[in-house]
Structure 1
């Protein structure tokens, strides 16, 4: 049983009403579902062990042991071993730079204070990462049996972006998920959702046919049902964690932390890193102290136009059922915080002392140097490649300019030239070239889109028409295009028109969610058709498959889609060789699948799965013309 988005949304609405009307009964239902998963798994194991013990007992009390009994013992023993290996789901530890109390005493002191006030468990490890994020990870040492190892993960960019009081609010929110002061049950369910997600992923990635047969049917029903039933409680827990932040840091700090995180996360991703990567145009080597530059950028007041744009984008986003996290507007409303645009300047004022400076102390300089060097080493090779590509772009533009003097360029050449001129010379220089392209092809998506943005930057409302034409031609830019138009209309004070585009974005988000759901699985009742991959690409894929001795045969088809059918969704179904011993040891299908996904990017959106347990699916695929693209030599 798997929910499509519409039934899922309707179920969530019903459960929200149920939880509000009968909260205790709702929680009882959720608790029952949470324990049901464990009960099923241990019941299967108990029945297997009971059968094994029963057969051994009968053999010991029988006058003679026949071959049938011996085979039964061996089969059940092998089956029990498979189940035990399936249940021993390993959870790799999160990665990051370990922080020790002696090195950052102020940070540990703050964490211990918050943990004590919230009655949260102690952390075994505190890791510093390069993410703009903070979070709590509980890693069960014994798989399903628990014995949690607690990790607190904090991102250096986040600590650089927030003053200490707001970072305190962020930590209080994260530790609030483990708090013993509030709803222990909600916190437990919150953790169970995370644990079950990882357990199910581990069981399915184990790839063993026997354990798959036992668990798949149950998990196919249980996983989406538990996810839906606990969804309301998980969202309530997010609000509860926000209240923990208010308790320990105050309403204003908690609210401003939420706002700052939304805005500065966008600033880091879209503006800061963009400016860093722009240096590849002139520098053959990446910069040395990137995180020092990040510290300087985040400590200053951000450009008001940038902050206003990012803030409006965050405030217009609506809560949806794709994520348990509520949107920014709903979270601020729940805190009782009324945002006043006049407060914007105060919220984004320069930071005198960042959380990183106060809590990391004398170690900050070394940590900045460490992350800068790590980033530089990681990016060095692709950076040099991009530098070479940029130099090639200069040469290409030179050739196109020369050719344009003597003859008309093809539409593709004209487009390439226009975008290169925009890249090197800016907006004014490219306008006549874009107009010429649109004159030749009125519905040219990229030309209309770029010209529309340039005109809106000039406060010319005709830019909306060009962006609309581009969105009609290319659905992938609808959300971004609507957001660009929204920002322009908001500046013009046309609030009603802003709302219509916001509604359009919401509707499109729903389509994306439905499309994602449609492309997230392959089922026996799905309809397929012959693939449209070129012979050249199929031959490349066939050659790649020949390098995997365990692959016996392969089928390539396309799934019939209701949403965005113009974007093909390919199905690559593999039949692989699995010996009995490999069955006990659980062959790692995920390793094979991930390897193929990495090596065959030309397929684009592709779903790869193993056919061994799906004989009916194989029969169905065989009936589709040209579906079999590979068969191992000697196999028929």
Structure 2
């Protein structure tokens, strides 16, 4: 029986208490669950191999024996493929020691102090984040390849001390051998999920049929037996195992935090966490929005990457900084993310009470990137990243300019027309949406409000007005979004994603975010089952 979301959340809460009080016993229980899952599969595999060997070594042949052999081979293939879980290579620019010797020196020092395995690859990414990854080259058979992923925006957003603390946290996972054990647990969970997906895929393929009744019958029987043997066990097992692995990953995060605080200093690490939380919101809610708005005025995109790096080091307006930090601290730990929420991590470090005081130190006089990279290399990699961004976004700028050139005379024509005669509803709607595009949201708000007085159930107008209000940090926009979806269910995903973004970035309201995410998931479920009819 699959656990409901409420049952899963309750189980996680119980396991968190158990893991806190008896950490070693908890890890042993996780290990035993893995053995239990693999043991069940081993029993099934042994039985299938016994069936295959028995039939192949029999002295007589029959249609029934041949059918049983084919069914056993089909099930064997599904199970074996599920055990080969490959983790793809992470993407990023591979750094070399001669290019960035200072970064490699820092990495070497941390590896020695924390007694971690050496990294085979250090990759520079475009994320405001850092991570370690142990990738098994041979799937479940291991032979690990170690990766350190370092985001260039992260290095531009933090001081050297803050960056050192964040990287030390990542090394803390390897130091306590979290990564290898956690990676094994992750791959195990993926194997169970892949097995169920394989059974479902074969079931879907068998429904279409091959046109040969005998083969279709064998496929149907094989899938039926597969669900009978594995379905009931793993639907229950995967849910329970996921809860255990979630708590394990969350516990490891606290231990890695403590490792960083002991090595580099809790204040530097707390400053780094706060800086990432606030600047992540700044980049996504303000910086990129302002960059893409330039497409309304300029025919070519700006050099956004150097501008972003500069913005990550400068002062953020105090009202926005306080609002975003408050939103980050309001978030609650959720079962959708193994990382504990910011307030709980700061509390564990002893810096929650000083969070707003620490946020005053977000301005960077010299970033970690400038400390660890030479001026020539930093300039080179910045321009390369910027050139990639320009190539990716040039098309958007061209399409946007063409669109504005097309609608500008149409809007002027409708505005003149409105002075002499009454417009149709469609013409009024065009004025609303074109005004928003050309003159901005503030100019469009009263027009949309008047339009909705005439037809309150018009979904596009509700959606547009809700979007404008949410962009202005006005929570009343949610009411219009709800109205839009109630009038047109096809808007569910795009509309409620706007609400989730607003609640996350501006309010940190985890419970309401989950509420709207559930609505999106329910929509997808309805679409999926409708496609089966």
Match of 2:399 among 339, 364, 385: 385
The answer (yes or no) to whether the contact 1:438–1:448 under 8 Å persists in 2 is no
Query: Counterpart of 1:194?
Result: 186
What is the deviation of 1:192?
3.3
Q: Aligned residue for 2:529? A: 571
Counterpart-to-counterpart distance in 2, 1:189 and 1:474 = 47
Instruction: Quote the residue 2:27 is aligned against.
Output: 27
Match for 1:357 among 370, 375, 391?
A: 370
Aligned equivalents of 2:7, 2:231: Cα separation in 1: 22
Match of 2:210 in 1: none
2:483 aligned to which of 473, 476, 483: 473
Q: Deviations over 1:201-253 (max 9, x none)?
A: 54455544568656554432222110112322221111111112212221111
User: Per the alignment, in what secondary structure is the counterpart of residue 178 of structure 1?
Assistant: helix
Query: For the structure 1 residues 441 and 236, does the alpha-carbon distance in structure 2 shift closer, same or farther, using more than 3 Å as the test?
Result: same
SS at match of 2:373: helix
Q: Report Cα offsets for 1:510-545 as digits up to 9, x if no partner.
A: 423544665676xxxxxxxxxxxxxxxxxxxxxxxx
CA distance in 2, matches of 1:572, 1:145: 41
Contact 2:84-2:140 within 8 A present in 1 as well: yes
CA offset at residue 481 of structure 1?
A: 6.8
> Quick check: 1:169–1:253 contact (8 Å CA) kept in 2?
yes
Higher RCO, 1 or 2 (CA under 8 Å, sep at least 6)? 2
Q: Is the 8 A contact 2:8 2:239 kept in 1?
A: no
CA displacement at 1:317 relative to structure 2: 1.5
Alignment match, 2:214: none
Relative to 1, partners in 2 of residues 1:370 and 1:198: Cα closer, same or farther, differing over 3 Å?
Answer: farther
Question: Residue 402 of structure 2: SS of its match in structure 1?
Answer: helix
Contact 2:467 2:481 in 1 (8 A): no
Contact 1:3–1:224 (8 Å) recurs in 2: yes
How far off is 1:507 after superposition? 4.2
- Cα distance, 1:333 vs. partner? 0.7
Query: Is 1:102 matched with 2:94?
Result: no
| Per-residue Cα deviation, 1:339-396 (whole angstroms, up to 9, x for no partner) | 44762563222x1221122223232111111111112222222332222223233233
Aligned to 1:509: 513
TM normalised by structure 2 equals 0.81
TM-aligned CA distance change 1:295 to 1:345, over 3 Å? same
- Secondary structure of the residue aligned to 2:122 is strand
CA contact (8 A) 1:467 1:481 kept: no
Alignment of structure 1 residues 332-351 onto 2, 5 Å: 332-340=346-354, 343=357, 346-349=360-363, 351=364
Match of 1:275 among 284, 290, 306: 290
Query: CA 1:94–1:339 in 2, change beyond 3 Å: closer, same or farther?
Result: same
Q: What stretches of structure 1 of length at least 5 have no aligned partner?
A: 458-462, 488-501, 522-558, 560-568, 575-620, 622-636
Cα RMSD of the aligned pairs, angstroms, is 3.5
Over 3 Å counting, the alpha-carbon distance change for 1:109 and 1:281 in structure 2 is: same
For 1:178, which of 174, 177, 185 is the aligned residue? 174
Return the alpha-carbon distance in structure 2 between the equivalents of residues 519 and 451 of structure 1: 24
| CA–CA distance in structure 2, aligned partners of residues 228 and 511 of structure 1 | 20
For residue 255 of structure 1, what is the aligned residue in structure 2?
A: 270
What does residue 528 of structure 1 align with? Answer: none
> Deviation of residue 146 (structure 1)?
2.0
Distance in structure 1 (CA, Å) of the matches to 2:45 and 2:12 = 33
Q: Structure 2: give runs of 5+ residues left out of the alignment.
A: 204-221, 486-495
Count of residue pairs the alignment pairs up: 494
What corresponds to 1:265 in structure 2? 280
What SS does the corresponding residue of 2:529 show, helix, strand or coil?
Answer: strand
| Pair 1:315 & 2:325 matched | no
CA distance in 2: counterparts of 1:5 and 1:160, whole angstroms: 39
- The residue that corresponds to 2:310 in the other structure is 296
Aligned to 1:407, what secondary structure does the other structure show?
coil
Against the structure 1 CA distance between its residues 193 and 513, is the aligned structure 2 distance closer, same or farther, given a 3 Å change threshold?
Answer: farther
The within-5 A match list for 1:484-523 is 505-515=509-519, 518=522
Q: Distance in 2 between matches of 1:342 and 1:509?
A: 24
- State how far apart, in whole Å, the 2-side matches of 1:364 and 1:452 are: 39
Task: Pick the structure with more helix per residue.
Answer: 2
Is the 8 Å Cα contact of residues 5 and 517 (structure 1) preserved in structure 2? no
Determine which of 100, 109, 121 is the counterpart of 2:117. 121
CA distance in 2, matches of 1:119, 1:43: 39
Distance in structure 2 (CA, Å) of the matches to 1:571 and 1:76:
30
CA contact 1:34–1:192 (8 Å) conserved in 2: no
Aligned mates of 2:283, 2:331 — CA distance in 1: 19
TM-score, normalisation: structure 1: 0.69
Residue 309 and residue 342 in structure 1: after superposition, are their counterparts in 2 closer, same or farther (change >3 A)?
A: closer
Q: Deviations over 1:568-596 (max 9, x none)?
A: x453546xxxxxxxxxxxxxxxxxxxxxx
